[in-house]
Chain A
Amino acid sequence: QVQLVQSGAEVKKPGASVKVSCKVSADTFTNYYIHWVRQAPGQGLEWMGIINPSGGTTTYAQKYQGRVTMTSDTSTSTVYMELSSLRSEDTAEYYCARSLGYCSGGHCYGTVHFDHWGQGTLVTVSS
């Protein structure tokens, strides 16, 4: 059964960092790529980046370069997304999602659609 299970809601102060986890099934960890997508309250969807869980390679959206770090732990089949220097505009639901295809070096390869998603993690940034 495909599962992407995310960690619980977080409340952070401006300037702090947050680390959200996404535990995936073994098959997903080995054969798929994991993306992070966020959605501010009442707003649309925004792609943050992609990680190859088994190899650890990443591609980030330019907007988040220098502030986001995506990592993976092969021993627990868990992927992490850490966002630093938080500001109020980072208040959003953060989702992990998987795809068979991947993007790297300015190109995408294969079909990069998100066929399974985590349940979302609400991150609230407030003083």
Chain B
Amino acid sequence: DIQMTQSPSSLSASVGDRVTITCRASQNINNFLNWYQQKPGKAPKVLIYGASSLQSGVPSRFSGGGSGTDFTLTINSLQPEDFATYYCQQSSSPPLTFGGGTKVEI
């Protein structure tokens, strides 16, 4: 199975900050990497797919980068509604696997 490692596991930030979350795959997954946002009591919501493609309806302050084994999710100018937990997920081969999550707190 492909292991996905996210860092940090949590971070504190302020409104307006630029935040970067990293995700590392245990083997080359090309650009088969997706990012999700989850708020308490809610289902996850996809932000980025294919490593860098912005899902329709997602604000442009979210961006994704990387390929191979190392990936990033960047949130420019953090907004109050962005405080949530973020997960990466590889879709290179089954079983599909998720990172452990990054909680973005005030």
Contact = CB atoms under 8 A, between A and B. Distances in A.
A and B are interacting partners:
yes
Tell me the dominant secondary structure on chain B's binding face.
loop
A112 B95 CA distance: 12
B46 A114 contact: yes
Most buried by A among B49, B55, B100: B49
Interface stretch (A13-21, A67-75, A76-84, A102-110): A102-110
Contact of B93 (A95, A97, A103, A117): A103
Contacts of B100: 44
B45 to A, nearest CB: 8
A48 B60 CA distance: 31
A108 B94 contact: yes
Contacts of B87: 44-45
A59 interface: yes
Contacts of A63: 95
B50 interface: yes
A62 interface: yes
Interface of B: 1, 32, 34, 36, 38, 43-46, 49-50, 55, 87, 89, 91-101
Interface of A: 35, 44-47, 50, 59, 61-63, 95, 97, 101, 103-104, 106-108, 111-115, 117-120
